[in-house]
Every structure is written in structure tokens, then in C-alpha cells.
Structure 1
Amino acid sequence: MEDKELNLVDHLDELRNRLIISAVAFIIFFGVGFFYVKEIYNFFVRDLDVKLIVLGPSDIVWIYFMLATIIAIAGTIPVLATQIWLFVKPALRPIERKISLSYIPALFILFIVGLAFGYFVIFPTVLNFLVELSGDMLVTNFTAEKYFKFIMNMTIPFGVLFELPVVVMFLTSLGIINPYVLVKVRKYAYFILIVISVIISPPDFMSDILVTIPLLVLYEISVNLSKFVYRRKLKKEKEWQEQYGDMEEEIDEEISR
């Protein structure tokens, strides 16, 4: 009993250390983002025909923190993924370690691709639609806070959700889920993704559709990738069993004696 308690304490200590490393990485990337916030700001407002306004001094500080946070999140993702992999590594077989390690760079790449998709495809489409909707009735002015909140709503969720295929592949390779489960819960997953789309998109029907369709496509891609990983996993396990199965049986017999 004491050995089990000590083992649990060791695992909790290791988990805490992994989280501390991830938190330190976040702070470092936050500092880098804060230092280059002017360049980041100029990138986001380069195509605007109007000057952004602020309604108070606190809005300026909020913009600095928000832009730095975006950089910190993007930079911390591969660090956090590596720490998670190192934490679960002892419980994985060599073949599982090799496969799961390859997913770490994919997480970062897909996050950036999701941000790019949200910013270069969804964001301008929705923004132009909403601006044209006002026509000549209204004078269009943007506060910096509202503008950057709008950008975050159109990019960060896509950055996170674009990682769905890699997460599904990773969990499939560990045997936690399989494609048959994903197919079985498809209608529930669709409902959840539609709810997410409505929450993160502006309150108009066009925006909801533009956000919903990519998320549903992502889910279907995830299902097909899960099928691919699952078949590959079964094949690898069969090869492993053929190569090392007899050896494991001999070891078990020796232990039982």
C-alpha cells in the first residue's frame, strides 16, 4: 500500500514539474510577444482603411496583453505537447513512443494552419459581410478592443480545432479511442461542433455556416485518419506479437516459477 502511495506521489511530482516547465515556456513566449507587440499590431491592421480607436488607457494595456498571449499560446503548444509525451512515455511501448512522438510537430503546424485559415479565409469574409451589411446607414469605426476580440474569435478556435485530427490519431494510437466509436458518436459530435460554431461566430446565419462547415469537414478527416492509424496499429501489434510474443511467454513462465 505504501509503495502505491509513493508511486502516486512520484507521478504527481513529475506532473507538477511538467506543468511548471510549460508555464515557464508560456511566460518566456509571452515576454517575446510583449516585446514585439508593435510589429504584431501593425501586421493585423495593415489592410484597415480606418484607424483603430481606444476608449480608455486600460484598452491599450489590454491590447498588449492580448497580442502577447496569442504568441505565448502558439509557442507553448509544442512545449506542452512534449511534456505530456514525456509524462506518458514510461507507459508506452517502443513502437507507441515512436509513433506518438511524431505527432508533436504536427500539433504546432496544424495550430498555425488553423490560425491562418481563420485569419485569411474566415475573418475577411465575415468582416466584409458585416461591414457591407451596414451599407450607407452607419459610419464604420472600430475600437481596438472590439477589433482584436473579433480576430481572436475568428482565429484561436480554429487553431485549437484544427488539432482535432492529430489528437484523434494520438488517442487512436494509444488505444483510447477507435474509428468505430467516432462513427457511432458522429451525430452527437456534429451537434457539439455546431453549438461551438454558433458560440464562436458573430450572430448571423452566414457566419455560422462559414464556421460550421470546416469543423464538420475536420471531424470527417479525423475519422478517416483514425481508421488509417487503427489499421496500422493492428498490423504493428501483430508483427510485435509474432516477433516478441514467444519471448514474453517465456518471461512470464520464468516469473511464475
Structure 2
Amino acid sequence: MAKKNINEMSFLDHLEDLRWHLIRIVIAVVVMATAAFFAKTFIFDVLILGPKKADFITYQVLCNMAKSFGMSDAFCFQELPFRIQSRTMSGQFSSHIWVSITAGFVAAFPYILYELWKFISPALHENERKHSRGFIMVASGLFFIGVLFGYYIICPLSINFLGSYQVSSQVHNDFDLDSYISLVRSSVLASGLVFELPIVIYFLTKIGLVTPEFLKKYRKYALIIVLVLAAIITPPDIASQIIVAIPILILYEVSIYISRIVIRNQKRREKKHV
């Protein structure tokens, strides 16, 4: 049966359309999660437990940089002083399942955007759809850059600090597997979503909720929020917070530029119709 024109669709028709988009999204995530489930050795030994190893690339780079600048050798070590354990019967199996689902979501993210875009795009004007070409590619690229930033920057900084921190030499760090995985997962997904800021600002500007003037006016407040966010998701040392804050501030400035372009294009179209 031919798909109805969007103007002819009732509320229930829209819900039915959304349901099928969501079903296809779930299928895509399940397929990718199944592939991740069978790639257990690579997912856990290489990816998940990678930042725990002293030869992880981030530690090597930071160690060499610290030596070059004559700074502290906090990132030069042979082994992180903690162990990871599973204290429940189903702990490792449950972790395997949830890590596979997370990996499935990350891997299927471009397709998820594609399905959401197919649902939203019919409501846009032809010129709006034309100016939004490349949305999936750009949004996916930003997400994966954020994921890599979280994995190679936030994760190692957090694991190194929290794994080495001791209130007393008599207390040894033995972390639950779920706790360790939760840190890795939250760092990666949070960074991926934060890097979507320019896309969010683009759509907020399109619907009139945000303007370049608004973003510039509240830039100093945004700076404070970014610093607080960096302090929350990173260890409490200045260097780590600056490393995390810089790309977020760059994204904010890029968002202002994007908002300005959107407003400029809207004014041009309004002049043409006058």
C-alpha cells in the first residue's frame, strides 16, 4: 500500500509510522549487538580493558609529553595498582550482554539517525531538506569523534586517577567489573552525545529557540557550565579539566557560527518571498 502524504496522515498514522522506524532501529541495534557478543575477546581484552593497561597509547603519549616538558611522571608506570573482579554468579555474563548492547548502539548510530531522519524529513519543506543534506554524515562523524575522545582521553584520565587513588596504603583497590564498565560506558557515550552540540544548536535555531546573539550573550555562563561539566567527568586536577574543556568550548563557538549561518539563510529566504 502506498504511503500516505504527510498532510493526509492522522495522529495514529504518525504513531504507526514511528513504530516501524523504532522497530527497524531495534533490529539494527540487535544485529550489531549480536556481532559484538561474538567478538567478546576483542571487545573486552582490547577495548574495554585497554585503558587499564600501562602500554595504552594515551598513557604513552602523556608520559612522553610530561618528560619533554619536565613535568610529573604520573602517567609513566608499569601497572595500574588495582584489580577488577566479579562478585556475582551472573556478573560476567550480564556485563557481556550489556556491553554488547552498548557496542551495538554505537555501531548502529548512523542507521539510527537515518531512521529518525526518514521520520522527520517529510515534515520539512523541500528547501529545508535540501539544506540539510549531509546531516547523517555530519552527525555521525561528530558522534564518533566524541566517542573516540571519551575513550582515548576521558577514560584513561579517570581510570588512572581513580585506580591509583588511595586514602591509605592499607586499603587496596578491587573494583567490581560493573563499576569499571560503567565508567568506560558513561565516558564514551556522554562524550559522543556532547559532541552533537552543533547539531542540537542547528535545530534549535531552525525552530527559533536559539539565536547567535543569545549564545554570545550567555557565553560566560556556558564557560562556567563547561568547566563544571569537565570537573564532574574528569579527575579533579587542572590539566585533565582543561584537556576536556577545550574541545567543548570549541564546539560551543562552532555552534554560534552555525546558528549565525542558519539565521542568515532564513533572512535571505524571507527577502526572496517579499
- Could you tell me the TM-score, scaled by structure 1's length? 0.75
Matched, 1:228 2:231: no
Q: Deviations over 1:203-254 (max 9, x none)?
A: x45566654454344223212222234324444x268x3xxx49xxxxxxxx
Deviation at 1:197, TM superposition (A): 4.4
1:89 is aligned to: 121
1:157 is aligned to: 190
Output the CA distance in 1 between the equivalents of 2:165 and 2:84: 20
1:77 is aligned to: 109
Q: Residue 211 and residue 65 in structure 1: after superposition, are their counterparts in 2 closer, same or farther (change >3 A)? A: farther
Deviation at 1:158, TM superposition (A): 0.4
Is 1:53–1:144's contact at 8 Å kept on the other side of the alignment?
yes
Q: Residue 66 and residue 6 in structure 1: after superposition, are their counterparts in 2 closer, same or farther (change >3 A)? A: closer
Matched, 1:30 2:33: yes
Output the CA distance in 1 between the equivalents of 2:205 and 2:258: 9
Matched, 1:17 2:43: no
2:199 is aligned to: 166
Deviation at 1:194, TM superposition (A): 5.2
2:251 is aligned to: 218
Output the CA distance in 1 between the equivalents of 2:207 and 2:146: 25
- Unaligned runs of 5+ residues in structure 2 are 1-6, 54-78
SS in 2 for 1:101: coil
Matched, 1:130 2:153: no
Output the CA distance in 2 between the equivalents of 1:201 and 1:65: 27
SS in 2 for 1:74: helix
Q: Deviations over 1:71-128 (max 9, x none)?
A: 1221332222222222222222222112223111112111111111111122222322
Is 1:157–1:200's contact at 8 Å kept on the other side of the alignment?
no
Output the CA distance in 2 between the equivalents of 1:224 and 1:90: 27
Aligned length in residues: 237
SS in 1 for 2:32: helix
Higher helix share: 1
Is 1:30–1:72's contact at 8 Å kept on the other side of the alignment?
yes
- Unaligned runs of 5+ residues in structure 1 are 247-257
Amino acid at match of 1:55: R
Amino acid at match of 2:21: R
Is 2:30–2:101's contact at 8 Å kept on the other side of the alignment?
no
Give the fraction of aligned pairs with identical amino acids, expressed as a percent. Answer: 30
Amino acid at match of 2:176: T
1:103 is aligned to: 135
